[in-house]
Structure 1
Amino acid sequence: MNDFPLSAGITLLIVLLMFWTAYEVGMGRKRYDVKAPAVTGHPMFERAYRVQMNTLEWVVMTLPCLWVCAVFVSDAVAAGLGVVWLLGRVWYALAYRREPSSRGPGFLVGALAFGALGVAGAAGVALRLLA
């Protein structure tokens, strides 16, 4: 695993993003008095919750694609696309918290980076199988 330091670093930054979104939900519960297990209440809490859940939904798909791309294509390509995905998700999160209707561009950047990771990874696997 010493051959993938860039992808490992991006993975850790993605974990940090997930920690930040979880922290924001926890602070939102306290700030807006939304008692667990409720997931509705104050609109600002609901925004934080949706950011966390949507990001988690995408992390589950993105991390395997990132690592398949790293192993079968290159660490640098995977990490570069991982950075784009991460920046898109941060953009999405900040925009969603400010005004939900403005979340689209950040979402699109993340979705395109995810797609590129998946396509590159699949191509790398296919080429290895055909070799």
Structure 2
Amino acid sequence: MWKDLIWKVKLKLTYFAQEVINEIAYLFIYYGEHLLVLTLRISVSYNSLLAMDKKYNIIKNVSICNNTCPYLMFPLRKISVTRLLQIIACNRAELCCHKLIDCLLETYKMYESSDDDNGSDNSSLEIYM
């Protein structure tokens, strides 16, 4: 009875911690090193929750699947430094792409507006008889 309750609470906590790690890991880019330290601490807690199964023998052989929550379809795995770096790199690449697109749009707008100005100077036509 108590093992089932512990297992359910542990499962909820691990999925919640996994979601928090995925959401705040990339904020390191914007807010600095403090959030990266917090992410590492949460990931250590997450990994210790996963190790709790073997230590207290509360492993369940139940497949969990929920259509409204697709991450429940994947097994829980430890979050390593490599995984954290992948999350940060993916979001960093997305940020750089947004900056590049903004820069290209600004350049296009400047180029487009400069064509209108140059065209008005040479647009007159003189007819000689």
Q: TM-score, normalised by structure 2?
A: 0.34
Larger Rg: 2
Structure with a larger share of its residues in helix: 1
